[in-house]
């Protein structure tokens, strides 16, 4: 993700979350937060630069990757692109001295929870009233092992996902 992507990222963020990120958050993350890492997902456009249709990010805190956000534009949901973003983040985790991956997810977001469970995240706790907009609890989920065996699992998932995405094109 680059500063030039922010207007599109913020538009997707507004369409994806009940309370979008505060103004200037992504700019701060990119320009001033050394522990923040963000990516965008684009599709080929009409000869110009790719059209951004999703984004995700994480923080590297000591030896932990904390996934902070994953979003795809509503018109592109249900096609495996959120999974693609998650998968790429998990591969990136191996570039850091990380031992575990954590995230929070809304208790009502069953679709996201199913995706995280598919990637072996386990529910380890609850953060009561975590989401200020609704007072909803967050489930704290972790994936505690970035082992060679897990990397092989990710490669298998990537292969299957790419085959699925290719068949939809």
CA–CA separation, 56 and 92 (whole Å): 12
Please identify which of the residues 29, 83, 104, 150 carries the catalytic annotation: 104
- Is 156 assigned a catalytic role? no
CA distance 96 to 60: 8
Is 27 among the catalytic positions? no
What radius of gyration do the chain's Cα atoms show?
16
Catalytic residue among 58, 116, 119, 150: 116
Q: What strand order describes the sheet that includes 138-143?
A: 36-43, 51-61, 64-72, 100-106, 138-143, 122-127
Instruction: Give me the active site residues, please.
Output: 104, 116
């Amino acid at each position: 993700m680059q500063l030039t992507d922010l207007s599109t990222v913020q538009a997707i963020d507004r369409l994806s979350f009940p309370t979008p990120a505060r103004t200037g958050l992504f700019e701060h993350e990119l320009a001033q937060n050394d522990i923040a890492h963000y990516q965008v997902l684009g599709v080929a456009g009409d000869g110009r630069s790719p059209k951004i249709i999703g984004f995700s990010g994480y923080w590297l805190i000591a030896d932990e990757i904390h996934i902070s956000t994953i979003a795809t534009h509503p018109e592109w949901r249900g096609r495996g692109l959120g999974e693609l973003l998650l998968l790429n983040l998990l591969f990136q985790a191996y570039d850091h001295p990380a031992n575990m991956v954590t995230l929070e997810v809304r208790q009502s977001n069953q679709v996201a929870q199913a995706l995280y469970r598919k990637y072996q995240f386990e529910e380890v706790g609850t953060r009561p009233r975590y989401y200020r907009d609704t007072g909803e609890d967050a489930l704290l989920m972790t994936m505690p092992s970035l082992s060679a065996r897990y990397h092989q699992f990710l490669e298998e998932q990537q292969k299957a996902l790419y085959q699925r995405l290719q068949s939809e094109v």
